[in-house]
Structure 1
Amino acid sequence: MSVPVIDGVELSEAGNGPLLLLGPSLGTSATALWERSAALLAADHHVVGWDLPGHGTSPAPGDGFTMAELAGGVLAFAERLLRERGEASGTFVYAGVSVGGAVGLQLLLDAPERVAAAALICTGAKIGTPDGWHERAAMVRAFGTATMVEGSAKRWFAPGFLEREPEIGRALLASLEETDTAGYAAVCKALAAFDVRDRLGAIRVPVLAVAGAADEPTPPSDLETIAAGVADGRTVVLDGVAHLAPAEAPAEVADLLRAHLKQGAVITESQRTAAGAVVRRQVLGDDHLDGAGAAPTAFTRDFDDLVTQYAWGSIWARPGLDRRSRSLVALSTLVAQRDHDELATHVRAALRNGLTVEELAEVFLQASVHCGTAAAAAAFRVAQETLRADGVEL
């Protein structure tokens, strides 16, 4: 398993408002699915579509991947775009269809500090069944993606759409036939293992869930589950639409996105707190946050929220430095302050963030020059006691 390389296509000129990242459905390219809606959003957003591995502009995967790894590839693509815009520390707004919506959910769980608002379209917190996805992956590996065209035409479009819009339908079905077999199968396997229904309550970013009334793979009830499960969600059901809403109802989807994604202009305190809670747990670990006496009391709760929002949501969640670098800064500062309780906590955090024991020693040696040998000696003592208590050989 590995993080796949994700590429995409500019669907509007750069610089027109905030970055809007658009995610595709399995077997489609971002261009074929989103082009008409994107044209209607271009005046207000810098619109970029990303492609699944082996689809459209993205290379075929060298290995399989999980949904979290796929979302990691999408996040890396988004961060590259933000750097190019001169917004390395910035956020983006997101909309995705089907598996693109599943990736959106994963991004909201894993990187809530980067996504300011999201629209999840014709998707679910769990889509289909594991057996169904594994069977489809085996079918495509054996006979190619052309075997999926007939069934997809029935699943993707509401009755009468292909007769009304034959060119749009042909373009989408052609993108399916052109999809790399390994890429299609790898996405199927990721979907087979995807189920975040029990994690929806952790999502604090505003979510619009858009359903197609005629959608069989992800019916309106799936979108209602998402909207009801997140902290700030609502559902809209589009009549006469099946599984590919941006292609079937481009104007309606664009209008919904334009109104909803305005919420991404401001990051709320609850979003900062939610992002901080995720980063805090990733850096400090479950043992530290769930241990005896770790849970905030009525007396300390407001202070705990302040620390989570400010220290972890506003500072540690920023993308300007990686977490390894932030650990180096934190350790040096704590040595200077002789804050030994926090130093012990951040010695453990530094190891989680990729520092070695040898590099910890180098940090304290460097600190001895600027903070004094007494401060460094105390830091070596605290670190050594902490490491030995955790079973680290020195």
Structure 2
Amino acid sequence: MPANDFLTDFHHVATIGATPRNGVDRQAATAEDALTRDWFAAWIHDAGYTLHVDGIGNMFGLIDWTPGAPYVLVGSHLDSQPLGGRFDGAYGVLAALHAARNVDQLVTESGQAPPFNLAVVNWFNEEGGRFPPSVMGSSVFAGLFDEDRMLDTTDLAGITARAALSEIGYLGTDPRPATVSYAEIHIEQGRILEREEIAIGVVDRSWYTQKLDIEVLGEQSHTGATAMADRHDALIAAAKIVLMVNDVTTQFEEESLVSSVGQLTLEPNSPIVVPRRVRLIADLRSGDPQIVQAARTTLLTKIAALAEEHDIQINVTDFDIRPIRYFPEDGLQLAEAAVANLGLSSRRIRTMAGHDSVAMNNIVPSIMLFIPSIDGVSHCEREFSTDSDMVTGLRLLTEVARQLVNGALVTTASTPVYAEV
């Protein structure tokens, strides 16, 4: 399949939910997400493949060569962050679609069906911006999250994921494909490949992730009539917590811990009312779980002292804890050999961000590949990777998918086939 066809498709999808500064806003199960899903479904139909949509909204384009055989999955996600970039996730889906068609053409030309079929997947709600937690669809598929519990998750407006998927017509009932392996390509979302002028990153492990759901409970009062000494301002305390979450990183070796507060809501959110309740989410990540635990302990101690100082209540709940996942060595070697055969450079690299491949790696051998990101920025409109790097990644994903459907990473003696979850 010519590279121009891939680029035409990629840049067309980037117009769906486009923002003024060349980003996209396609949060999960919104009208904009529905338009990209419609496009995906039409592409699968036009290619002559079979579309399945499962109970959490994951979409699968099935290519069947060998009746009854399980599938190799390739793909990523089409949903985005609010005011997000047009590459994160979408590149992996578009590259997977065209890599799958390339492999299909190779199979047709050979006249010999491989042992495994192939499926392209668009995972639901990888970003988690509207419905936390993130990496939802693939985690349900992998059995890490309960489907009904995830469908009952609500956004800030109180709409459930179940209702939102139903509203856009993508609350499916189709069976999930039995799966033997998974591959995903993605922009790096970091500066390593660009800085070192390396074409491909082969991901060998994920970082440890720990989130804290923090509820600050003060007392609502009049901003003009209440004496300063009589106030129990939840937002003042929450602001100090935001700084604590940022400053805790300085207690450890540089870049060994990253942290942030990415979401904050307050009540009643009136210009003349002292806030009574603030809820914020703190995100702690490191390649060393002990560093995250030490940072967590420090924060809990400081937050308890803050609550006493301000005479308010602060509740802290652990959630979305994700251990380090190591990708299989034989998958790393397969990817590295494919890179070398294409005359490209590569290095092993860790992913600090979460990805669907990390969830899938719990149940089947998985391969995660990166292409360079300009300036390392992501989750913003300035996110960018070049056409040339995207096409290079497509060539590599085609070769990796070809090897996987021909039995790479899978042996009948040692590797089970993971059927519907």
**How does the TM-score come out when normalised to structure 1?**
0.33
**How does the TM-score come out when normalised to structure 2?**
0.31
Greater strand share, structure number: 2
